[in-house]
């Protein structure tokens, strides 16, 4: 029997720059296959070609052994059974769940008008088959949580006669529990014979949920192997093309009495009497479950959120940051977790984005075009950002490279305190190590870093001290010597 899906010798260039070169990729019925590669390796592009969002320049795609026409449209591709859940979800926020699922295919009544009752009933059935009874078909998508939106996308995919489901970094925004639910669903769909293509930078997840792994590097096919035959380390090495080292948190060697930032008794609707201190040059992790108040606490420090009570001290002096610009001018930086919404200006160039904060902070001074160009060059080199030119729109960058742009604009202004909220989400293993090295370097030069992260390995690997939050409160603090995953989790879940 023919393979479920075969992509043969696929090549693609953007504006004359090759992004994929003769790539072969195939999926069997019921197979969960991981597609791995560094940021910018071409994973999303290959999958967008499969979903008929981009056209390939050369090659062939066969579904059930049958060649697909080159000029096929995305909707036709979905009808034939190939659906893609994008890295940045793709739903219409102002429409209902059911409207999104049946967009352009709404069931019509005798009068020729949309039969809403039927549409909602069918959407309900689909959601129930995924175990998602709690999502109402008539709810507006804008009111749903990320994990629920993803389930709506999956419901939409299975509303076609689904054969191949592509998931581009589906767990990047999910909690551990939501991830577990998604994995159960992936296994269930695979049992029904659906082929699943799973893109992720979390190698642990790949070992957990995938049967095989295909690796791309610089737009080229490198290797395809059963997951049982490769270690996480080997996958990383194949991706990067060299040995990837793993970093270890260094001891804090600064002065414990040199307090840079102090938060005293901060409370608001979510935060409950939060107090903590951070020293100059220290790397502190802020851990806890999603919703525990970590991001909100950082927003208070940065002047996005106004606390009801409590004070903030910078170098021993009380400060009030009414707006982010106050915090920026006082030397605080904030790499936000949602790059799409608050991290980058998607319709602007790389150069404009990288110089954005510099312009806010140093208004009117040093703002020559030449300086901007030099700044951008420096950052592209320092963070190894993969792009065609400085003037390329950020919207055209790969997911991980967008994240690097967010980091770059803050590194450029050399803040004394840098808050990093999920700094390596969507970042590949090699680049992650580079970012950890930068964090270490910053701390050694006296900068203070606060890392908010859901990734426990990350917290343990780079932070010298870990503060754990639960339901708006600080539940515990772990020093360098007694930090373990178990201890963090037991504070985070309030089990101790």
Ligand X SMILES: Nc1ncnc2c1ncn2[C@@H]1O[C@H](COP(=O)(O)OP(=O)(O)OP(=O)(O)O)[C@@H](O)[C@H]1O
Nearer to ligand X, 43 or 163 (CB): 43
42 touches, from ligand X, Mg ion, none (C-beta below 5 to 8 Å by class): ligand X
400 touches, from ligand X, Mg ion, none (C-beta below 5 to 8 Å by class): ligand X
Which secondary-structure segment (H or E) carries 8?
A: strand 5-14
Mention every residue, 6+ apart, whose C-beta is less than 8 A from residue 302: 321, 324, 327, 332, 334, 419
CB of residue 298 vs ligand X: minimum separation in angstroms? 24
CA proximity to 297, closest of 175, 448, 474, 145 = 474
C-alpha separations of 72 from 61, 67, 333, 341 in Å: 11, 11, 46, 32
415 touches, from Mg ion, ligand X, none (C-beta below 5 to 8 Å by class): none
Residue 340 phi/psi, 5° resolution?
Answer: -65, -40
CB of residue 415 vs ligand X: minimum separation in angstroms? 25
SS3 90: coil
C-alpha separations of 296 from 10, 97, 252 in Å: 45, 28, 26
Mention every residue, 6+ apart, whose C-beta is less than 8 A from residue 21: 11, 219, 220
Which secondary-structure segment (H or E) carries 72?
A: none
CB of residue 169 vs Mg ion: minimum separation in angstroms? 7
324 touches, from Mg ion, ligand X, none (C-beta below 5 to 8 Å by class): none
Nearer to ligand X, 127 or 199 (CB): 199
CB of residue 407 vs ligand X: minimum separation in angstroms? 13
C-beta separation of 251 from 434 below 8 A: no
Nearer to Mg ion, 339 or 470 (CB): 339
- Interaction mask 8-47, ligand X, x per CB under 6 A: ------x----x-----------------x-xxxxxxx--
Residue with nearest beta carbon to Mg ion = 44
Nearer to ligand X, 157 or 385 (CB): 385
Assigned token pair, 215: 């690796």
Nearer to ligand X, 144 or 387 (CB): 387
C-beta separation of 368 from 432 below 8 A: no
Burial readout 193-229 (b: 16 or more C-beta within 10 A, e: otherwise): ebbbbbbbbbbebbbebbbbbbbbbbbebbeeeebee
Distance from C-alpha of 79 to C-alpha of 97, rounded to nearest angstrom: 19
Nearer to ligand X, 205 or 258 (CB): 205
Nearer to Mg ion, 401 or 464 (CB): 401
Cα 54–60–64 angle (5° rounding)? Answer: 105
CB of residue 39 vs Mg ion: minimum separation in angstroms? 8
C-beta separation of 449 from 286 below 8 A: no
Nearer to ligand X, 268 or 458 (CB): 458
Stretch 180-219 residues interacting with ligand X (CB under 6 A):
none
CB of residue 138 vs ligand X: minimum separation in angstroms? 34
- 343 is an interface residue for ligand X by CB under 6 A: no
Distance from C-alpha of 38 to C-alpha of 216, rounded to nearest angstrom: 8
Residue 36 phi/psi, 5° resolution?
Answer: -120, 160
C-beta separation of 172 from 425 below 8 A: yes
CB of residue 35 vs ligand X: minimum separation in angstroms? 8
- Interaction mask 368-407, ligand X, x per CB under 6 A: ------------------xx--------xxxxxx------
Nearer to ligand X, 41 or 101 (CB): 41
CB of residue 399 vs ligand X: minimum separation in angstroms? 3
Residue 75 CB neighbour total at 10 angstroms: 13
39 touches, from ligand X, Mg ion, none (C-beta below 5 to 8 Å by class): ligand X
CB of residue 428 vs ligand X: minimum separation in angstroms? 6
CB of residue 188 vs Mg ion: minimum separation in angstroms? 25
41 touches, from ligand X, Mg ion, none (C-beta below 5 to 8 Å by class): ligand X
Task: Give the interface with Mg ion as residue ranges (CB under 5 A).
Answer: 44, 398-399
Nearer to ligand X, 37 or 430 (CB): 37
Nearer to ligand X, 63 or 199 (CB): 199
CB of residue 199 vs Mg ion: minimum separation in angstroms? 7
What size, in residues, is the chain? 496
475 touches, from Mg ion, ligand X, none (C-beta below 5 to 8 Å by class): none
Stretch 74-103 residues interacting with ligand X (CB under 6 A):
87
Mention every residue, 6+ apart, whose C-beta is less than 8 A from residue 310: 263, 264, 265, 266, 267, 273, 274, 300
396 touches, from ligand X, Mg ion, none (C-beta below 5 to 8 Å by class): ligand X
Q: What secondary structure letter does DSSP report for 170? A: T
Distance from C-alpha of 83 to C-alpha of 279, rounded to nearest angstrom: 49
Which residues in this chain contact ligand X in the complex, by CB under 6 A? 14, 19, 37, 39-45, 87, 386-387, 396-401, 428
């Amino acid at each position: 029997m023919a393979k479920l899906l075969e992509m043969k010798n696929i090549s693609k260039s953007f504006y004359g720059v090759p992004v994929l070169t003769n790539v072969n990729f195939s999926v069997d019925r019921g197979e969960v296959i991981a597609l791995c590669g560094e940021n910018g390796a071409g994973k999303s592009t290959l999958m967008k070609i499969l979903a008929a969002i981009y056209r390939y320049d050369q090659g062939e795609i066969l579904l059930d052994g049958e060649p697909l026409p080159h000029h096929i449209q995305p909707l036709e591709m979905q009808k034939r059974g190939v659906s893609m859940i994008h890295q940045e979800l793709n739903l219409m926020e102002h429409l209902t769940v059911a409207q999104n699922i049946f967009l352009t295919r709404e069931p019509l009544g005798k009068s020729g008008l949309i039969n809403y009752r039927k549409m909602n009933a069918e959407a309900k059935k689909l959601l129930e088959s995924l175990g998602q009874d709690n999502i109402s078909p008539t709810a507006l998508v804008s009111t749903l949580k990320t994990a629920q939106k993803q389930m709506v996308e999956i419901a939409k995919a299975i509303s076609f006669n689904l054969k191949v489901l592509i998931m581009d970094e589906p767990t990047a925004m999910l909690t551990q529990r939501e991830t577990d639910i998604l994995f159960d669903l992936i296994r269930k769909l695979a049992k029904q014979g659906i082929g699943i293509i799973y893109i992720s930078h979390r190698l642990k997840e790949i070992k957990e949920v995938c049967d095989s792994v295909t690796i791309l590097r610089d737009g080229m096919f490198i290797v395809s192997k059963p997951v049982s035959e490769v270690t996480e380390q080997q996958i990383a090495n194949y991706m990067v093309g060299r040995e990837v080292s793993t970093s270890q948190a260094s001891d804090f060697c600064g002065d414990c009495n040199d307090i840079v930032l102090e938060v005293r008794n901060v409370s608001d609707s979510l935060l409950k009497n939060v107090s903590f201190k951070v020293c100059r040059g220290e790397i502190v992790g802020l851990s806890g479950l999603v919703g525990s108040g970590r991001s909100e606490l950082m927003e208070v420090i940065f002047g996005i959120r106004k606390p009801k009570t409590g004070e903030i001290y910078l170098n021993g002096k009380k400060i009030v940051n009414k707006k982010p610009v106050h915090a920026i001018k006082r030397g605080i930086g904030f790499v936000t977790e949602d790059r799409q919404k608050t991290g980058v200006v998607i319709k602007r160039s790389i150069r404009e984005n990288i110089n954005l904060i510099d312009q806010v902070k140093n208004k009117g001074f040093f703002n020559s075009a030449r300086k901007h160009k030099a700044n951008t060059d420096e950052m592209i080199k320092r963070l190894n950002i993969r792009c065609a030119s400085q003037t390329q729109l950020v919207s055209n960058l790969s997911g991980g490279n967008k994240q690097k742009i967010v980091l770059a604009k803050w590194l450029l202004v050399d803040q004394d305190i840098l808050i990093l909220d999920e700094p390596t989400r969507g970042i590949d293993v090699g680049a992650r190590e580079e970012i950890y090295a930068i964090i270490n370097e910053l701390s050694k030069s006296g900068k203070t870093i606060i890392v908010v992260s859901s990734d426990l390995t990350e917290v343990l690997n780079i932070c010298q001290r870990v503060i754990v939050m639960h339901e708006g409160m600080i539940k515990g603090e772990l020093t360098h010597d007694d930090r373990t995953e178990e201890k963090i989790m037991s504070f985070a879940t309030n089990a101790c």
